[in-house]
Structure 1
Amino acid sequence: MIFDKNTRVVEFVRRPNRFQGYVIVDGKEELVHVPNTGRCREILVPGCKVVLREESGEHRKTRYSLIAGYKGDKLINIDSQVPNKVVEEALILGNIPDLKKYNIVLREKTFGNSRFDFKLSNEAGEEYYLEVKGVTLENNKKTMFPDAPTERGRKHLLELIEVKNTGRGAGVLFLIQMDDVESFSPHDKMDREFGDALRFASINGVDVFAYECNLGENFITLSKRVQVNL
C-alpha cells in the first residue's frame, strides 16, 4: 500500500505518554500523535529520525502522526492501523499462499462472542478466521511479540482454538513491520502467558504465520514469510 498523504522525516524528542510524542518540525518542537500503544522504547530514542504522516482530520489536535522510526539504518513502521490494511491487500491479491484459496475477505467479523480481524471464505463453503498482530520489536534480526503485556492477545489465541474445534480454519499472522529479518518468536520475557498460549494454539491446530514487509517512508507491503520459533 502507498500512503495517500504526505510524509516527512524529522528528529524525535520525547514521548510523554502512549499517544503523544514531541518532534522537531522546521526548527520548532511540535506535538504529534503516536498511533501505537506499545512501548517502542528501542525505536523512539531521543535524537533518532522518525517519519511523520500529514493528517487533515477536522477534530485533530495535531498536524501529524508519527508512523515510523529509524533504528540505526533500519526503518520500522509503528502505525498500529497498518497491519490489517497490509494483510487485507495481500489476501485480496492472493499473496499469502496458505490462504490463497479463500477469495472472499471480510474485515472485523464475529464468531460466537469473539471478534476477529478477518473472516475468509470461498464458494466451496470453507471458512477461516484470521487474527493479525503487528510486530515492531527486533534485536539482531530476530523479532518478537509482544513488546508489552497483552491479555487481549492471549484471549484471541484461545478463541482461535475454539474456532478450530468447530472444523473451521483458524490462524494468527504476525506482520513484522520492517524488512531483512531472520525469525519471529513470542517474547516470553515480556509476557510468558502469551507465549504459552501461542504454543498451545499451535499444538491445537491454529496456524502461526510471520511475514516481513517491504517498506519505505511512504509505502509498506507484505513480502516474504519468516521462520517462526515457538
Structure 2
Amino acid sequence: MKFSRQLQQATLLKRYKRFLVDLRAPSGDEFTVHCANTGRMTNCADPGFTAYYSTSDNPKRKYIHSLELTQDNDGHFICVNTAVANKVSVEAIEQGRITQLQGYKTLQTEVKYGAENSRIDILLSNLENGQSSQFCYVEVKSVTLLEQQQGFFPDAETLRGQKHLRELIHIKQQGHRAVLLFAALHTGINCVKPASHIDQKYAALVKEAISHGVEIIAYRAHIDDNQVQLIEEIPFDYA
C-alpha cells in the first residue's frame, strides 16, 4: 500500500484523549493531528519519536492531519493507523504474497457472520452458482507492541479480540476454514506471541483455537514513509 501523498515529518510531543497527538514541525510550530488508533500504543508514541503524518483535503475535518507512522529511537518504523492492517493484508493476498491464502476466486471484506454479531475482516471463497462448499474466514490483527525483541498481541485486554477467537472456533466447527492473521506493522518485530502477561484469557483462547484447528499465521511488514507492505512470514510462538 503506497501512501497517496508524500508523508510529512515532525517530532512527536505527546498523545492524549486517545485520538489526538501533538507534534512539532521542523520550523518549531506545534500543532495537533488525529490518531486513528484506540489502543494503548505502548512503545509506539513516546515523546521525541519521529512522526509521519498525512494531510486531508476534506474542509469539514476538525483536524486535517492524520498520524500514520512513528519511528522509534532504534530507527524502527511503526504503522499506528490501525486501518492499514486490513488494507495491506488484502493487498498481500491479492498479489500472492500470503501463500497460505491463495487459490480462492472471491475476496470480500467486512462480512457479517457468527453467533456474536461480528464482521469478518476477509472472507475468501470459490463461489459456484452463488454457493460455496467451504469459506475461509480471515481475522486480521495489527501487532505493534515490541518488548525485549519480541512482538506481542494484544497491547491491552481485548474483549473484542476474545470474541473474535470464539467466533473463529465456531466457524471451524461448522466445517469452514478459520485463519487468524497477525500483521506485524513494526519493523523491529520478527516473531509474534500472545501477550499472556497482558491478557491471559486471550492467550488461553489462542491455544484453544489452535486445538480446534484454527490456523494462525504472522507476516512482517516493510514500512517506510512511502509505503506499508506485508513481505514475509515470521514465526508465531504460542508456547
Give the TM-score normalised by the residue count of structure 1.
0.95
Q: Is 2:190–2:220's contact at 8 Å kept on the other side of the alignment?
A: no
Q: State the identity %.
A: 32
Q: Is 1:131–1:172's contact at 8 Å kept on the other side of the alignment?
A: yes
Q: Is 1:6–1:54's contact at 8 Å kept on the other side of the alignment?
A: no
Q: Output the CA distance in 1 between the equivalents of 2:233 and 2:181.
A: 10
**Residue 98 of structure 2 corresponds to residue 99 of structure 1:** no
Q: Output the CA distance in 2 between the equivalents of 1:9 and 1:197.
A: 40
Corresponding residue for 1:17? 17
Corresponding residue for 1:128? 136
SS of the residue corresponding to residue 228 of structure 1 reads: coil
Corresponding residue for 1:79? 81
Q: Output the CA distance in 1 between the equivalents of 2:119 and 2:188.
A: 32
**Residue 53 of structure 2 corresponds to residue 49 of structure 1:** no
SS of the residue corresponding to residue 22 of structure 1 reads: strand
Deviation of residue 74 (structure 1)? 0.7
1:79-133 Cα offsets, whole Å, 9 max, x none, are 1110000001011112211110123110011224332111101257331111100
Deviation of residue 180 (structure 1)? 4.9
CA gap 1:220/1:189 in 2 versus in 1, 3 angstroms: same
Q: Is 2:42–2:145's contact at 8 Å kept on the other side of the alignment?
A: no
Deviation of residue 222 (structure 1)? 0.7
1:105-163 Cα offsets, whole Å, 9 max, x none, are 10011224332111101257331111100011012431001111110010000001111
Q: Output the CA distance in 2 between the equivalents of 1:223 and 1:212.
A: 6
Give the ranges of 4+ consecutive aligned residues of structure 1 lying more than 4 Å apart after TM superposition: none
CA gap 1:97/1:147 in 2 versus in 1, 3 angstroms: same
Corresponding residue for 2:147? 139
Q: Is 1:32–1:64's contact at 8 Å kept on the other side of the alignment?
A: yes
Deviation of residue 20 (structure 1)? 0.4
SS of the residue corresponding to residue 162 of structure 1 reads: helix
Unaligned runs of 5+ residues in structure 2 are none
In terms of fraction of residues, the more strand-rich structure is 1
Corresponding residue for 1:89? 91
**153, 176, 196: which one pairs with 2:161?**
153
Deviation of residue 28 (structure 1)? 1.3
Paired amino acid for 2:17: N
**Residue 179 of structure 2 corresponds to residue 177 of structure 1:** no
Paired amino acid for 2:105: N
Corresponding residue for 1:117? 121
Matches within 5 A, 1:174-213: 174-213=182-221
Give the TM-score normalised by the residue count of structure 2.
0.92
Q: Is 2:42–2:155's contact at 8 Å kept on the other side of the alignment?
A: no
SS of the residue corresponding to residue 118 of structure 1 reads: strand
Deviation of residue 48 (structure 1)? 1.6
CA gap 1:149/1:96 in 2 versus in 1, 3 angstroms: same
CA gap 1:180/1:13 in 2 versus in 1, 3 angstroms: closer
Q: Output the CA distance in 1 between the equivalents of 2:145 and 2:202.
A: 15
Unaligned runs of 5+ residues in structure 1 are none
Deviation of residue 4 (structure 1)? 0.4
RMSD: 1.4
SS of the residue corresponding to residue 169 of structure 2 reads: helix
**193, 216, 219: which one pairs with 2:224?**
216
Q: Is 1:33–1:65's contact at 8 Å kept on the other side of the alignment?
A: yes
SS of the residue corresponding to residue 152 of structure 1 reads: helix
Q: Output the CA distance in 1 between the equivalents of 2:37 and 2:196.
A: 21
Q: Aligned residues, how many?
A: 230
